[in-house]
Structure 1
Amino acid sequence: MSSSIWSRPAKGSRGPAPAHSREEIVAAATAMADADGLGAVSMRAVATALGTGAGSLYRYLSSRDDLLDLMADRAAGELRPYPEAGDDWLGAMLRIARRQLDLYRRHPWLVDLLARQSAPGPQSLAWFDHCLGVLRPVPAPAAAKFEAIAMMTGVVSLFARSEQSGPPAGFDGIDMTAFPHLVEAATAAPAPAPRRDLFEATVRSVLRGLLTDAA
C-alpha cells in the first residue's frame, strides 16, 4: 500500500527537472472540474491542459486518487479566514457552515468527494481544528463534537446537492387519488408568514441537539 500523498515530497527525485509544480497541476485539475465536472479530470487530460505528457505527472503523483486528495485540500484552503467564535459558538458554527455551502457552490464536484476514504490534508485538518476550537466552551465529550462537525458537513452537502439537482419533479400525469396527504400538502395555501431560513434552522437544530444533549 502506497504512503499518503501528505507524507511524500512534492516532486520526485529522479528524471529531468520538472516543468510544473504540484500546485500548478492541482490548479489545472480544479479548473477542469469546475468547468466540466469531476469525470473530466484524468491524469492525461490534466497533462494535456499543461502541455506535457501524462507520464510526467507521475513524478509528482502516484495516481488520480492523489490528485483528488490534493484538489479537495486545496479547496478547503478557501474556507480561510475562519469565522471567529466570540461568545456565540452556535452562531460561529453557522457562519462556518455557510462558508462551506458557498465553497460547494463554487466547486460542485466537492460533494462527490465526501464519501471517499482518504487521509485528510493540512488545510482540512486546520479547518477541523478551528471547529473544535469554536466548540471548546461546549461541555460535551470530544466524540460528540467530532460527530457534530461531521453531521454539520453532511447537512451542508445535502443542501448543496439539492441545489445542484434543481427543483423536484411535479406530479403531472400521475393519478394522485391514492395519495391524499400529498395532494393536501401540495394544494395548501401558502403560510402568511415569510418562510424561515431552512438551512440555518437545520444546522442550528443538528448542532444544538447533538451537543446540548451530550453535555
Structure 2
Amino acid sequence: MAAAIAIADTDGLPAVSMRAVATKLGTAAGALYRYLSSRDDLLDLMTDHAVGELRPYPEPEGDWLDQLTALANSQLDLHRRHPWLADLIQRPTAIGPQALSWFDHCLGAMRTLEAPTATKFEAIAVMTGLVVLFSRTTSSSAANPFAALDPARHPHLAAALAEPSGTQNTDLFDRALRGVLRGLLGES
C-alpha cells in the first residue's frame, strides 16, 4: 500500500496500476495478483491504509462539536496530504478496518446526542463531504475567480465582494462545519 500511495502522491491516481506498483517493489505485476484480484482491490486497500493515518485520533476533549471539528480537521489534513483520496473515498466499496474504526470513533464523539443513528451517519457523511470540498479548494495564490466580473450584470455580487468580509480572521471550514453539524444534529 505504501508503494501505491507513494505513486499516487507523486504522479496522481491514474498512474497507480498493478504494473507500476510491482515495478516500484522490484517484482512482476503477476506477483501482486497472488494478493489482489484487481486494481479496484488495490484502490480499496490504499483508501483504508490512508484512513489509518488518522490514528491516533484526537483525544476526546470538549463537547461533541469540538470533538467532531477536531476529527474533521485531521481528516482535512489527510486529504490535503493525499489529494487523490477525495476521488476514492466516495467509491461504493466495502469499508475496511481503518474506516470502520474511524466511523466508530466519530459515533463515539456523538454518543451523548439524542439524535437518531441515521442522522449521526448523515452527519459523518456531510462532514466528509465538507472535507472533500475544502481539500479541493484552490490555494490563496491562485487567480481571482471573480476577475472577469461585470458589475453591471452582477451588481449584488459586485457589492458583496466590495464589502469587507469581516471573516478574514476566522476559519471558513470551521464555521461551515460547525453550522452544518449543529443544524443537522439539532444542537445549539
CA distance in 2, matches of 1:51, 1:131: 39
Q: Kindly provide the CA deviation profile for residues 138-170 of structure 1, in whole angstroms up to 9, marking residues without a partner as x.
A: 111111100001100101110001147955534
Instruction: For residue 189 of structure 1, report the CA deviation from its aligned partner.
Output: 4.0
> Match for 1:181: what amino acid?
H
Amino acid at match of 1:198: L
Check conservation: 2:47, 2:89, Cα contact below 8 A: no
**CA deviation after TM superposition for structure 1 residue 80, in Å:** 0.7
Q: What's the counterpart of residue 4 of structure 2? A: 29
Gaps of 5+ in 2: none
**CA RMSD after TM alignment:** 2.1
Secondary structure, aligned partner of 1:138: coil
Task: Among all aligned residue pairs of Structure 1 and Structure 2, give the percentage whose two residues are the same amino acid.
Answer: 60
Would you say the 8 A contact 1:108–1:164 is kept in 2?
Answer: no
Give per-residue Cα distances to partners, 1:158-196, cap 9 Å, x unaligned.
000114795553434x6553222222233x142466442
Q: Structure 1's 145 and 125: CA in aligned 2 closer, same or farther, altered over 3 A?
A: same
* Ranges in structure 1 where 5+ consecutive residues have no aligned partner: 1-25
Alignment of 1:184-199 (within 5 A): 184-186=159-161, 188-191=162-165, 194-199=168-173
One-letter identity of the residue aligned with 1:136: R
Which residues in structure 2 correspond to 1:41-80 (within 5 Å)? 41-80=16-55
Aligned position for 1:201 = 175
**Structure 1, 68-77 or 194-203: larger mean CA deviation:** 194-203
- One-letter code of the match for 1:204? R
| 8 Å CA contact 1:84, 1:134 repeated in 2 | no
What letter is aligned with 2:30? G
Counterpart for residue 129 of structure 1? 104
Alpha-carbon distance in structure 2 between the residues aligned to 1:45 and 1:194: 44
The one of 108, 124, 134 aligned to 1:149: 124
What is the count of residue pairs matched by the alignment?
187
Structure 1 contact 94–203 (Cα < 8 Å) conserved: yes
